[in-house]
Amino acid sequence: MKQNDAILISSQVLQVSYNYSAGPVVSKFLVSLRDQKKILGIKCDKCGIVYVPPRATCGKCFSEMKQWVELSGRGRIETFTSVHYPEPVQPRGGPFILAVIKLDGSDTGLTHLVGEAEEKDLTIGTKLEAVFQENRTGHILDIKYFRPCRD
């Protein structure tokens, strides 16, 4: 390139529509949410760790996992935050509460929305239960949100 040659730099936003496969493990998880309003975990036969959301391979011992576990849809807050601004990648506009929830019977946390609660009323350890969408499509947001347990 010659010293006098100009380089043009422009900014642009590319939006690309695409389809992807969730794979057999995550597909089973999402179909269970959609068709049965059930939250499934997957258990490592070697370590005993229960993962939610499920994965094909154990993160601790790298064993292939095939043992499905049905969970109650109840759990406790491990950590949470309030989001006060909208972003296109967020599931809704702000403000909303996002929490890591350790479901009863699982060993990992599931990040999801919290509804029917104010931030001031939540603490680490607050017991929550899943609330499902009326019309479900096979998406993690088929769980509308988790709310404080009513019992």
Structural domain boundaries in the chain = 23-148
- pLDDT tens sequence across 103-145: 999 999 999 999 999 999 999 999 999 999 999 999 999 999 9
**What rounded mean pLDDT belongs to the chain?**
93
Q: Give dist(CA 84, CA 97) in Å, integer.
A: 9
pTM assigned to the model: 0.86
Q: What is the 3-state secondary structure (H, E, C) of 99-125?
A: EEEEECCCCCEEEEEECCCCHHHCCCC
Among 116, 151, 120, 119, residue whose Cα is nearest residue 131: 116
Among 59, 51, 54, residue whose Cα is nearest residue 105: 51
Average pLDDT over residues 92-107: 95
Distances (CA, A) of 28 to 15, 16, 24: 29, 26, 6
- pLDDT tens sequence across 38-48: 999 999 999 99
What is the pLDDT at residue 151? 80
